[in-house]
């Protein structure tokens, strides 16, 4: 899969960052929204004249000078509840999304979160099922490591290695990458670009903002319509233009 990027510069797209969709009663890292909250959040997007789509679809539209009525939807980590809880809500609203998965932890859990709770991750067949439903699959690295602390061999495995593993699993190229924990530095950006990814997502990459370090907005259970409006408004005011987008 290729994502066209030209030399133009334009406003950074609004990209929502989700994780798990399900029971959020035990949620120390605030990574979960209920299906009901997700439903209301996507309804709010529609009310703003926006439709949630995958990053590949959003960036392709922006490269054509279009897509101002689109917002990116991303789901990190590849939780198993994506298929059972998130996907039905996305379908209901006519939305697509990008799911960033960890091919080194297929069928495992979020062992990197010391406080828990343990949440199961998709197996290989679940990732293929999501892709068959029109969900873009991207890499979140192999095992969810902070790339800014990785040695050279580990950095290559987490970037190029994870892309190769997903290409074998899916039978297609993988365009997108997502930095675990949102942490990024120039060395990590260079490694992701060298691995052949067309784009990558961070959280707040500051001066590194660009096609290989796109900022995103964390969306959680407490994000009601009023909070979403503020996050959307502040994003437009604070984020610098991105070279390669128009």
What's the chain look like in SS3? CCCCCCCCEECCCCEEEECEECCCCCCCCCCEECHHHHHHHHHHHHHCCCEEECHHHHHHHHHCCCCCCEEEEEEECCECHHHHHHHHHHHHCCCCCEEEECHHHCCCECCCCCCCCCCEECCHHHHHHHHHCCCEEEECCCCCCCHHHCCHHHHHHHHHHHHHHHHHHHCCCCCEEECHHHCCCHHHHHHHHHCCCCEEECCCCHHHCECCEECCEECCCCCCHHHHHHHHHHHHHHCCCEECCC
Out of 2-11, 104-113, 187-196, which region has the weakest mean confidence (pLDDT)? 2-11
pLDDT at 239: 56
Q: Is pLDDT at 221 greater than 90 in this prediction?
A: yes
Taking residues 121-137, report their average pLDDT. 98
Confidence label for 13 from pLDDT (cuts 50, 70 and 90): confident
What pTM does this model have?
A: 0.92
Tell me what the mean pLDDT of segment 124-135 comes to.
98
Handedness of CA 93, 59, 126, 173 (dihedral sign): positive
The two tokens of residue 53 are 């789509």
Q: Which residues contact residue 29 at a Cβ distance below 8 angstroms, ignoring those fewer than 6 apart?
A: 113, 115
Mean pLDDT score, 92-111: 98
CA–CA dist 180, 172 (Å, integer) = 23
HSE-up (13 A, CA, CB side) for residue 224:
1
Tokens of 239: 């984020």
Indicate if the pLDDT at residue 4 is higher than 60: no
> With 70 as the cut, is the pLDDT of residue 238 above it?
no
The string over 207-238, giving b where at least 16 C-beta atoms fall within 10 Å of a residue's C-beta and e elsewhere, is: eebbbbbbbbbebbbebeeeebeebbeebeee
The lowest-confidence range among 163-167, 191-195, 239-243 is 239-243
In the predicted structure, residue 9 carries a pLDDT above the cut 80: no
pLDDT averaged over every residue in the chain? 93
Q: Determine if the peptide bond prior to 117 is cis (ω within 30°).
A: yes
> How distant, in Å, are the alpha carbons of 19, 43, 170 from that of 226?
21, 13, 39
């Amino acid at each position: 899969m290729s994502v066209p990027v030209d030399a133009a510069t334009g406003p950074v797209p609004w990209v929502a960052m989700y994780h798990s969709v399900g029971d959020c009663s035990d949620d120390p890292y605030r990574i979960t929204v209920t299906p009901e909250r997700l439903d209301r959040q996507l309804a709010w997007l529609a009310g703003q004249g926006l439709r949630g789509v995958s990053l590949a679809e959003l960036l392709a539209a922006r490269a054509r000078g279009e897509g101002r009525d689109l917002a990116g939807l991303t789901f990190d980590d590849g939780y198993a509840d994506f298929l059972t809880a998130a996907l039905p809500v996305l379908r209901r609203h006519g939305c697509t999304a990008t799911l960033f998965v960890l091919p080194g932890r297929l069928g495992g859990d979020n062992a990197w979160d010391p406080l828990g709770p343990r949440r199961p991750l998709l197996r290989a067949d679940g990732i293929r099922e999501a892709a068959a439903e029109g969900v873009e699959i991207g890499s979140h690295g192999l095992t969810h490591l902070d790339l800014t602390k990785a040695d050279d061999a580990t950095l290559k495995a987490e970037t190029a290695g994870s892309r190769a593993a997903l290409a074998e699993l899916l039978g297609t190229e993988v365009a997108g990458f997502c930095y675990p924990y949102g942490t990024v530095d120039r060395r990590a950006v260079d490694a992701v670009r060298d691995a052949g990814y067309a784009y990558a997502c961070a959280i707040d990459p500051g001066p590194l903002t660009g096609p290989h370090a796109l900022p995103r907005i964390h969306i959680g259970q407490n994000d009601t319509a009023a909070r979403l409006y503020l996050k959307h408004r502040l994003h437009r005011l604070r984020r610098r233009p991105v070279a390669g987008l128009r």
